[in-house]
Every structure is written in structure tokens, then in C-alpha cells.
Amino acid sequence: MDITLSRHSVVPHNVSSLHPSTFALLKLSKGKPQKAVYGTDDGCITCFSIKKNQVVVSFRTPPGHSPVSCVHAHVTSDGKDRIFFAVGRSGPPAHANVRPAVRCVIRCSVVTGVSKKGKIFKTIDCATSSFITSIHFSANRLFVADQRACK
């Protein structure tokens, strides 16, 4: 039995780069195409599937202030697909024309939860100022690891 594999580019050419942990596959549904999600440097995530050799975009979140540092697909106990992504150091950019007191605010990483259809249902401000590199779920608890924890 021979298997023939071929390469099919699914990421648009205008995406400058993807970080290693910003791509995830959603659970395969019966009779439906496999869905995947990726995060980009402009802070948005895109969920897509491939149907008849064409990329079909399910949803795209609006761009944020910082690049997506991690994407995690999770299935809840009741079978719902959830997508969580981390955006590092959100807040006003350092070059913004704001008062000096505002510029001193520590910018935290943010974890956002999105449903399979693209609706944001949860936003969590984490108490870390470095990029989140990993997200994990266990017993309905969210665990995150940042750059300092992974060294």
C-alpha cells in the first residue's frame, strides 16, 4: 500500500511569520472537515478548514496590540470546542503619545477564550509581563507558562 503526500499552503502570503506554538487542530467532527486555528504577529487568530482543496475561513478575530504567543484548542467535558490564545504584553504601545504616568503601567499578558464559531467568551489578565509560551487545561483549571518558567 502506497501513500502519496503532497504539500498544500494554507497560510496567506501576507502573514509574516508564525511562532511554533501558534497553530492548533480542533477535534475532528463526524462528517465535517477538520478545522485548524493559527495566530499571527498582528494579534489575531484565524480558524479555517479545507474543503475540496480550498481554504474556507470560519472566523478571524480583530487584530490586537501584540503578537499571538500561544494557541491551545480544548474540548470541554460537555464536548464543546474552545480555543484559547495568549497575547503578550497588551496595552498601549511604548511609542504612544500618552502621559508619563500611563507609560509606567506594567503591561500584562492576556489569555482570551473563543468559541468554535469565533465568539469571545472569556478574557483573563495574567500577572506576568513576559510572553506566555504554553497553555494547558486540567480539571477545569487553566495553567500558563511564561518565558521565565520555561528556562
Query: Taking Cα atoms as reference points, which of 109, 112, 115 lies closest to residue 47?
Result: 115
Q: How far apart are CA 85 and CA 23, in angstroms?
A: 10
Q: Which domain holds residue 125?
A: 23-146
pTM for this prediction: 0.74
Query: Does residue 120 lie in a domain region?
Result: yes
Confidence bin at 16 (pLDDT 50/70/90)? low
Query: Does residue 94 lie in a domain region?
Result: yes
Confidence bin at 101 (pLDDT 50/70/90)? very low
Query: Taking Cα atoms as reference points, which of 36, 125, 122 lies closest to residue 84?
Result: 122
* DSSP designation for 26: P
* DSSP designation for 27: P
Query: Does residue 97 lie in a domain region?
Result: yes
What pLDDT digit, counting tens, does each position of 39-97 carry? Answer: 888 888 899 888 887 888 999 988 877 888 888 888 887 778 888 888 876 444 444 44
Query: Does residue 12 lie in a domain region?
Result: no
Query: Does residue 13 lie in a domain region?
Result: no
Query: Does residue 122 lie in a domain region?
Result: yes
If one counts the domains in the chain, the total is: 1
Chain-centre distance for alpha carbon 45: 5
Provide mean pLDDT across the span 35-41: 88
Provide mean pLDDT across the span 88-109: 49
Query: Does residue 14 lie in a domain region?
Result: no
Query: Does residue 8 lie in a domain region?
Result: no
Q: How many residues does the chain have?
A: 151
CA dihedral angle for residue 36, residue 41, residue 43, residue 49, rounded to 10 degrees? -20
